[in-house]
Structure 1
């Protein structure tokens, strides 16, 4: 998990960007779908620890290094965020540890 400590206010929980890694910090290899799922599982763990959950997410920011991966990333993303929070997705040159995707979010408490 990237940064497990979100910033909490009375009205929102701000989660730092999560990259595809396991609980020990080892990078997850595989398809963009597997990496996206890993990022979202990490967000889910952070939100759960903060007393919230994926279903309370209101805004998501996704950073990917190749827009050619957008459709595949979006396919996995759609499985988790069925309530369709507001979202931005931008292509960036590089991400920490040279990963392909990073996801951050804002959720209600």
Structure 2
């Protein structure tokens, strides 16, 4: 059965969608930018701090669903400047066990909602309960 949840610590989505959609096997998390986070304005324009703040929020969202970043199987990253990829990777890699990185796509998008430099979307395996 599908569940459609909004993270109570984030502002309600300004778009017709949910922060998270879960089925029996997976958690799908909508793309997050610093504009989605209450403290995001403070780091806007610093790609490493934007990445760190978004990854921490995604990590917290997974914990709310009894998961962790170790359960992530796919990540999509959208950057306003693909030239920032090395700076992003330096922070991104800190959140995963070396050699156990999720499948990933990274694209350049000229404009992201809210004016941030990065948007990250995740798909993770759900914890199983017997």
- Segments of structure 1 that go 5 or more residues without pairing to the other structure are none
- Segments of structure 2 that go 5 or more residues without pairing to the other structure are 1-9
Structure 2 matches for 1:51-90, cutoff 5 A? 51-82=66-97, 83-90=100-107
Question: Displaced runs of 4+ in structure 1, greater than 3 A?
Answer: 1-5
The one-character-per-residue Cα deviations of 1:39-74 (angstroms, maximum 9, x if unpaired) are 101111111111111110000000000011111001
Scaled by the length of structure 1, the TM-score of the pair is: 0.89
Distance 1:16 1:25, change over 3 A: farther
| CA deviation after TM superposition for structure 1 residue 22, in Å | 7.6
Decide which structure has the larger Cα Rg and report it: 2
Structural RMSD (CA): 2.0
Scaled by the length of structure 2, the TM-score of the pair is: 0.75
| CA deviation after TM superposition for structure 1 residue 5, in Å | 3.5
The one-character-per-residue Cα deviations of 1:57-103 (angstroms, maximum 9, x if unpaired) are 00000000001111100111011123211000000010011100010
Structure 2 matches for 1:1-109, cutoff 5 A? 1=10, 5-20=19-34, 24=38, 26-29=40-43, 31-82=46-97, 83-109=100-126
Residues 28, 123 of structure 2: 8 Å contact kept: yes
| CA deviation after TM superposition for structure 1 residue 105, in Å | 0.4
SS in 1 for 2:41: coil
How many aligned residue pairs are there? 109
